[in-house]
């Protein structure tokens, strides 16, 4: 063995703290981001994240637990989740000509699409205010984000979107239908003009489909560049992390290449199949939530000082008296109710907050706390 020599490189000053190394090695666009913040909800009535408030009845829980005994945790899951896809195809009325791709939540599907399409000069187009993950994932993957402002009433400015498509030639357009955080459905004809004009794919994100009266699912056969995304999260299964993309097999085949092989775990596959066998139970919960949404909307509208926006989702966006959003948010929290303050989420959302429709008692507690703040 040759004698150890003094290594010349050791004389060059080396970064001495994580901070210096991070500055050297983490991509600048990542350093500039802040991590998605999920507030601590312990001890609070949780009306901030569009979760379904209901639990399953005991007999259903027992059946489910019995089924979990059969889970083979020592084996990798079925990489194609075939049985689950069959159930989803049926439950979601996916047209025969369309394929299905599954994600660990629809967030992962957005990530797969963007990973497969990003590159120098490529862009993702959506609307502002819209679902924040579109922009975040575009940022992670180094894809340009083009956000076209909605109109003041949160309707789609189709002419502005078409002009932006013409100018930026986006690889992918994401439109949530209904939109989050505004809760409205965009004009269907405008959406179709956008699908026709887009040079790449258009993903219609129907995360809130269960609470809405319309869908683009039946149009999949008519537009080869239309993809439709759904999730079981807002239907009452947020803990499972399961999202679905439906569309032309050729497109899905490309996105499938960037999917990690076992992204839908054994427990999720089993549990989701089970839940979809009992979809009537989930549908009944959805109906209840829609009914409670109408009631909550009317009660909020009766409070002076609030502007309440009508919703086709399981949440309601509303505007507080000018400059009062933060005080209202904190006031509610002090009363034990957690909602989401959207005041800083873009110019159109000034003074706005978003509340999830919960169980009747939770909605009542929210209303009571709202009045107690004395701000409306």
Ligand X SMILES: *Cc1c(COP(=O)(O)O)cnc(C)c1O
Write out the residues near ligand X by the rule CB under 6 A: 50, 105-107, 131, 176, 180, 205, 207, 231, 233, 238, 243
C-alpha pair distances (Å), 364 with each of 52, 231, 239, 286, 361: 16, 28, 25, 18, 5
- In the complex, least distance from residue 250 CB atom to ligand X, rounded to whole angstroms: 24
Let me know how long the chain is: 376
200, 171 contact by CB (below 8 A) = yes
3-state secondary structure of 130: coil
- In the complex, least distance from residue 368 CB atom to ligand X, rounded to whole angstroms: 27
Q: CA nearest 106: which of 290, 229, 281, 263?
A: 229
363, 46 contact by CB (below 8 A) = no
> How many CB atoms lie under 10 A from the CB of residue 107?
17
- In the complex, least distance from residue 234 CB atom to ligand X, rounded to whole angstroms: 6
H helices present in 257-358, as ranges? 266-277, 279-301, 325-334
Q: CA nearest 234: which of 9, 51, 21?
A: 51
**178: preceding bond cis by omega (within 30 degrees):** yes
- In the complex, least distance from residue 290 CB atom to ligand X, rounded to whole angstroms: 17
Q: Which is nearer to ligand X, 111 or 363 (CB)?
A: 111
- In the complex, least distance from residue 238 CB atom to ligand X, rounded to whole angstroms: 6
Q: Which is nearer to ligand X, 131 or 186 (CB)?
A: 131
- List residues bridging with 180 in a β-sheet: none
Q: Which is nearer to ligand X, 131 or 329 (CB)?
A: 131
- In the complex, least distance from residue 84 CB atom to ligand X, rounded to whole angstroms: 15
Q: Which is nearer to ligand X, 207 or 320 (CB)?
A: 207
User: Which residue has its beta carbon closest to ligand X?
Assistant: 105
d(CA 128, CA 345): 9
E-strand stretches of 53-189:
99-103, 123-128, 144-149, 172-176
Q: Which is nearer to ligand X, 143 or 232 (CB)?
A: 232
Q: Which is nearer to ligand X, 156 or 369 (CB)?
A: 156
- In the complex, least distance from residue 132 CB atom to ligand X, rounded to whole angstroms: 9
Q: Which is nearer to ligand X, 148 or 365 (CB)?
A: 148
């Amino acid at each position: 063995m040759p004698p150890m020599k003094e290594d010349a490189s050791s004389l060059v000053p080396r970064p001495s703290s994580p901070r210096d190394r991070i500055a050297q090695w983490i991509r600048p666009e990542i350093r500039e981001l802040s991590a998605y913040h999920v507030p601590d909800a312990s001890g609070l009535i949780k009306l901030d994240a569009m979760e379904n408030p209901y639990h399953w009845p005991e007999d259903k829980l027992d059946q489910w637990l019995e089924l979990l005994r059969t889970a083979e945790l020592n084996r990798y899951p079925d990489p194609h989740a075939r049985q689950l896809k069959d159930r989803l195809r049926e439950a979601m009325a996916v047209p025969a000509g369309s394929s299905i791709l599954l994600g660990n939540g629809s967030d992962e599907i957005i990530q797969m699409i963007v990973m497969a399409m990003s590159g120098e000069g490529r862009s993702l187009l959506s609307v502002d205010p819209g679902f924040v993950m579109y922009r975040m994932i575009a940022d992670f993957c180094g894809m340009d984000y083009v956000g076209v402002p909605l109109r003041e009433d949160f309707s789609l400015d189709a002419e502005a979107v078409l002009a932006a498509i013409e100018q930026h030639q986006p690889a992918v357009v994401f439109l949530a239908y209904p939109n989050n955080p505004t809760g409205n459905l965009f004009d269907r004809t405008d959406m179709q003009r956008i699908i026709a004009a887009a040079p790449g794919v258009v993903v219609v994100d129907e995360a809130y489909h269960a609470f809405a009266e319309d869908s683009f699912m039946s149009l999949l056969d008519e537009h080869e560049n239309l993809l439709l995304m759904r999730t079981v999260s807002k239907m009452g299964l947020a803990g499972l992390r399961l999202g679905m993309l439906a569309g032309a097999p050729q497109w899905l085949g490309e996105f499938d290449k960037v999917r990690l092989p076992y992204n839908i775990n054994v427990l999720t596959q089993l549990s989701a199949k089970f839940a979809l066998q009992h979809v009537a139970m989930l549908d009944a919960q959805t109906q209840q939530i829609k009914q409670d949404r109408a009631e909550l909307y009317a009660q909020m509208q009766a409070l002076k000082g609030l502007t309440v926006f009508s919703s086709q989702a399981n949440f309601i966006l509303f505007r507080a008296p000018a400059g009062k959003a933060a005080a209202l948010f904190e006031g509610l929290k002090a009363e034990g109710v957690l909602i989401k303050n959207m005041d800083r989420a873009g110019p159109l959302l000034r003074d706005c907050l978003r509340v999830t429709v919960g169980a009747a008692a939770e909605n009542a507690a929210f209303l009571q706390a709202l009045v107690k703040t004395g701000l409306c």
